[in-house]
């Protein structure tokens, strides 16, 4: 605690504080997600894209920008397709700050960039969709149309030298406006009604077809039976038509009149009464 | 954030002694640098006061005894040791740790107890990688999001569809560093991919048997887009949860189903009737043919006998038949020779007798059937 001992202590303290200040003004950190722009009195003097610790002069200012793939959702727009059909289109853009210096000069902040991009994307959407039929936007050529929009946006961004790289532009939704939706619902309903009617008619037709086919087959079977019967009778009764007639008559008499509900008024002259009348000599 | 990351493990993390020695050794080249680290000097105020104390102690030691110097060194070592301890961290089994050195990505660490250089040098972010995460588009039952559900199909119909995307992080580094708000990206890409695929597909397959195809195509398309973004995400699968006709046309669709059912049942009923008709005809055939065969056979038998004695048989058949016929009947015998007067029959003559039993087949060669 002697006097001479204090002097180096103070000196060391001053040196330490000085070193701290120096380090804090000359060393800066850049995150993996970021890129930095070193600005000296408003003038961008260096672009730093490698993350880690870096050195600068104490008079420099460091601005950090995102290096990642950034999202921009375009506002929902009602766009008219080439066939005059209106579509509500919802798109999103993915971009990246590719040239920090240029980005800083042309746009400065991300919010400004969003406004610019939004306008460019909307114009491109209108132009490309305006050239296509609504059906193509919804269905067949959506991929091509998206590619065309992407190219268009990329071209314009390139031409405006914004320091931005367009990674992708995708149509998220392409829907019909509300009134047209109702029309679609009606069309779907009528189409379904038609389908239902057709199905019922087919059912009816099938039913008739099945029944008629069965009738046809049944009659064939019956005819076959009748034919077989005729053939059987012809082959047996045909051996002696006269006896067959007699035999068959006897059968018929018995079946038609022998059931107890017939009253016979007979003449004793009939053959049956031959002996009844004339006795055994008959 | 890195502050938090380091503060956590400190108190309980006790790195293996080897580690401690190692870093203690390495530390010897460091101490000059450490206090000169960026502003907001390390953690708690204790540290600061100790630092001051340490400096004074050292100065005192310079002019004091050598024993004091030893104590100072011990104190400083303890502080440095505590600081080093804050670098320990645990990666859970389903995670990977992404370690940055001064903000720059340096390595990805696997599950277990790990170590990184303490703040402010390194920091870690833990990302779940093996666990499959789900993303519901169109809401879940009870909390639907109609705007996300209604989609135009390739045949310009509208379908009400909700689906789930199953995904996992395939590259933790890419997932953390390459894309801003990766979860929002997934949702946007999922929606746009599904709508693109549905826009190419007709309504009926989406509602019926084409779902698998829609799911596969959406999965492939999503993966392509995400790979282009280099987001480090793998799409495990896309599952359509609900695919319906939109509410206003649901009834019409149900009616189609009813109609199909009706047609089916009409055909079934008809098939039943048809089988019955044919069965009846077959019964008829059986009956007719067998009876005819029977009749013919019987006739043949009788005829064979008849040929042996025609007159006798004929006579006999006649008389027997008449007998059977007349035995069962009312009879009025009128001798009409010379009887010109009208015959008055009693009123009950024509009343039928008691219903006669069906004529029993004659015992021998009778003709009754």
pLDDT tens for each residue of B38-77: 444 444 445 656 666 766 666 665 555 556 678 888 989 9
Quote the mean pLDDT of chain A: 86
Q: Is residue B326 part of a domain?
A: no
Q: Is the peptide bond before B120 cis (omega within 30 degrees of 0)?
A: yes
- Is A247's Cβ below 8 Å from some Cβ in B? yes
Contact B333/A273, CB-based, under 8 Å? Answer: yes
Contacts of B195 in chain A (CB under 8 A): 171-174
Nearest to B351 by CA among A267, A265, A260: A260
Is A232's CB within 8 Å of B157's CB? no
Residue A167 pLDDT > 50: yes
Chain B stretch 216-235, residues whose beta carbon is closer than 8 A to a beta carbon of chain A: 225, 228-231
The residue of B146, B207, B256 whose CB has the most chain A CBs within 10 angstroms, and thus the best one to mutate to test that interface, is B256
Residue B336 domain-assigned (yes or no) = no
The confidence band for B325, taking pLDDT boundaries of 50, 70 and 90, is: confident
B310 lies in some domain:
no
Shortest Cα distance from A129 to chain B (angstroms)?
15
Burial of A230 (0-12, 13-18, 19+ CB in 10 A): exposed
Number of C-beta neighbours around residue B286 at 10 A:
12
Place of tokens 């007709």: B202
Residues A14-54: pLDDT tens digits? 999 999 888 888 888 888 888 989 998 888 888 888 888 88
In the DSSP assignment, the letter for residue B35 is T
- In this predicted structure, the answer to whether residue B300 has a pLDDT above a threshold of 50 is yes
Query: What whole-number distance in Å separates Cα of residue B65 and Cα of residue B72?
Result: 12
Residues B246-299: tens digit of each pLDDT: 888 888 888 988 998 989 898 899 999 999 999 999 999 999 999 999 988 988
Torsion angle of the four alpha carbons A40, A45, A49, A52, in this order, in degrees rounded to the nearest 10: -50
Q: Which residue's entry shows tokens 């056979």?
A: B297
Same-domain check for residues B230 and B161: yes
Residues B149 and B223 grouped into a single domain: yes
- Residue B146 sits in a domain whose CATH number is 3.30.479.30
Cβ distance A207 to B102 less than 8 Å, yes or no, reads: no
Domain A70-176 has CATH 3.30.479.30: yes
Q: What is the mean pLDDT of residues B147-155?
A: 87
User: What pLDDT sits at residue B190?
Assistant: 94
Q: What percent of chain B has pLDDT over 70?
A: 72
Task: Judge whether B323 lies within some domain.
Answer: no
| pLDDT at residue B286 in the model | 92
Task: Encode burial over A85-116: b for 16+ CB neighbours within 10 A, e otherwise.
Answer: bebbbbbbbbbbbbbbebbbebbeeeeebbeb
Interchain CB contact of B108 with A (< 8 Å): no
Look up residue A139 and give its two tokens.
């269905």
Which of B200, B215, B27 is closest to B137 using CA atoms?
B215
pLDDT band at B331 (very low <50, low <70, confident <90, very high): confident
The verdict on B140 and B218 lying in the same domain is yes
Chosen for mutation from A68, A114, A209 (greatest number of chain B CBs closer than 10 Å) is: A68
SS3 A229: helix
Domain check: are B138 and B154 in the same one? yes
| Domain boundary residue, one of B301, B322, B342 | B301
Q: Structural domain tally of chain B?
A: 4
Determine which helix (DSSP H) or strand (DSSP E) holds A238, and give its type and residue range.
none
Q: What ipTM goes with this model?
A: 0.71
Beta-carbon pairs below 8 A across chains A and B: 339
A109 touches B: beta carbon within 8 Å: no
CB B178, CB B229: distance < 8 Å: yes
State pTM to two decimals.
0.65
Q: Is residue A1 over pLDDT 60?
A: no
Instruction: Report yes or no on B351 lying in a domain.
Output: no
Domain region containing B281: 247-301
B33 pLDDT higher than 80: no
Q: Which residue of A has its CA nearest to B100?
A: A32
- Could you give the CA distance from residue B183 to residue B181 in angstroms, rounded to a whole number? 6
Taking residue B287's Cβ as centre, other Cβ atoms within 10 Å add up to 12
Q: Are residues B283 and B199 in the same domain?
A: no
């Amino acid at each position: 605690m002697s006097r001479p001992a204090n002097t180096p202590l103070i000196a060391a303290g001053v040196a330490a504080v000085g070193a701290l200040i120096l380090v804090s003004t000359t060393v800066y950190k850049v995150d993996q997600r970021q890129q930095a722009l070193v600005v000296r009195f408003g003038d961008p003097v260096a672009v730093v894209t490698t993350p880690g610790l870096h050195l600068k002069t104490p008079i420099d200012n460091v601005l950090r920008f995102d290096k990642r793939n950034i999202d921009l959702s375009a506002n929902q727009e009602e766009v008219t397709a080439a066939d005059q059909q209106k579509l509500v289109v919802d798109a999103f853009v993915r971009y990246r700050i590719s040239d920090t210096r240029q980005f800083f000069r042309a746009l400065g902040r991300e919010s400004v960039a969003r406004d610019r991009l939004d306008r460019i994307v909307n114009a491109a959407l209108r132009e490309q969709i305006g050239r296509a039929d609504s059906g193509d936007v919804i269905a067949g050529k959506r991929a091509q149309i998206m590619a065309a929009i992407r190219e268009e946006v990329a071209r314009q961004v390139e031409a405006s030298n914004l320091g931005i790289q367009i990674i992708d532009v995708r149509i998220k939704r392409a829907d019909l406006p509300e009134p047209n939706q109702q029309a679609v619902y009606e069309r779907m309903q009528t189409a379904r009604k038609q389908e239902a009617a057709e199905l019922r008619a087919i059912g009816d037709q099938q039913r008739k077809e099945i029944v008629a086919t069965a009738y046809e087959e049944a009659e064939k079977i019956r005819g076959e039976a009748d034919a077989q019967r005729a053939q059987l009778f012809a082959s047996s009764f045909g051996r002696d038509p006269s006896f067959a007639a007699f035999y068959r008559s006897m059968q018929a008499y018995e079946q038609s009149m022998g059931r107890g509900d017939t009253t016979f008024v007979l003449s004793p002259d009939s053959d049956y009464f031959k002996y009844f009348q004339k006795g055994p000599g008959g | 954030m890195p502050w938090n990351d380091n503060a956590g493990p400190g108190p309980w993390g006790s790195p293996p002694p080897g580690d401690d020695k190692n870093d203690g050794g390495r530390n010897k080249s460091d101490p000059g640098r450490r206090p000169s680290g960026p502003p907001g000097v390390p953690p708690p105020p204790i540290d600061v006061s100790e630092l001051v104390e340490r400096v004074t102690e050292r100065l005192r030691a310079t002019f004091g005894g050598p024993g004091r110097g030893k104590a100072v060194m011990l104190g400083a070592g303890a502080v440095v040791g505590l600081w080093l301890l804050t670098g320990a961290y645990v990666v859970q089994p389903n995670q990977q740790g992404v370690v940055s050195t001064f903000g720059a990505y340096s390595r990805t660490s696997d599950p277990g107890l790990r170590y990184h250089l303490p703040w402010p040098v390194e920091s870690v972010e833990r990302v779940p990688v093996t666990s499959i995460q789900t993303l519901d588009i169109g809401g879940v039952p009870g909390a639907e999001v109609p705007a996300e559900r209604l989609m135009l199909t390739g045949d310009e119909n509208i379908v009400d569809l909700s689906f789930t995307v199953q995904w996992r992080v395939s590259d933790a580094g890419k997932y953390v560093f390459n894309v801003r708000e990766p979860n929002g990206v997934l949702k946007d890409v999922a929606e746009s991919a599904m709508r693109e695929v549905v826009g190419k597909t007709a309504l009926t397959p989406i509602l019926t048997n084409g779902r698998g195809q829609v799911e596969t195509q959406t999965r492939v398309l999503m993966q392509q887009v995400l790979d282009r973004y280099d987001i480090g995400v793998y799409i495990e699968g896309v599952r359509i949860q609900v695919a319906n006709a939109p509410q206003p046309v649901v009834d019409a669709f149900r009616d189609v189903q009813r109609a199909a059912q009706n047609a089916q049942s009409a055909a079934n009923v008809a098939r039943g009737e048809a089988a019955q008709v044919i069965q009846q005809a077959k019964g008829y055939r059986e009956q007719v043919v067998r009876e005819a065969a029977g009749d013919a056979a019987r006739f043949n038998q009788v005829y064979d006998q008849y040929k042996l004695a025609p007159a006798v048989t004929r006579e006999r058949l006649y008389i027997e038949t008449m007998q059977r016929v007349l035995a069962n009947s009312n009879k009025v015998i009128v001798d009409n020779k010379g009887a010109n007067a009208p015959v008055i029959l009693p009123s009950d003559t024509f009343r039928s007798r008691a219903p006669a039993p069906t004529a029993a087949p004659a015992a021998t060669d009778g003709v009754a059937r």
